[in-house]
Amino acid sequence: MKRLETQHVEDIISWNKKETNERKESFGVKLEVLNGIVDKVNLLSDILDDKERVLRQMSTLIGLIVFEQPFNNGNKATATSSAIQFLRTDGYELDLESEKAQDELLQMLDSIMYLFEDQSEQGIIAVRKFLEKHLK
């Protein structure tokens, strides 16, 4: 999957609805924010090396969903589940079987939420390092 299309955006929204429904939290999406994130992910679609493209796109997707918070609730879970699904589409798996990897993921996502307004790139870099370590 080189580009996120309309159906992929609908899937992301659907995963968030499911997540917030299970938690009994309110659902809401700032569609313009989510579409802006998707546009940034799609700017990376021309990278020729497949693994590099996947790493950069998924780092951007996860990092920006967590940083920009396009959903009322469930942004970290939605970012993670979206990335897992899109990685599988590209033939990759995210190794989250160990409790240590899960804790590392949660700590990293939590830290992204508290970055300052001009630090979104730092969040994307943190996600990329995590993916490089746990992608198989």
Q: What digits encode the pLDDT tens for the residues 94-129?
A: 999 999 999 999 999 999 999 998 999 999 999 999
> Six-digit token pair at 8?
């992929």
Nearest of 52, 41, 65, 44 to residue 120 by alpha carbon: 65
Q: What is the pTM of this model?
A: 0.95
User: Which residues share a beta bridge with 107?
Assistant: none
Question: Is 6-134 assigned to CATH 1.20.120.1870?
Answer: yes
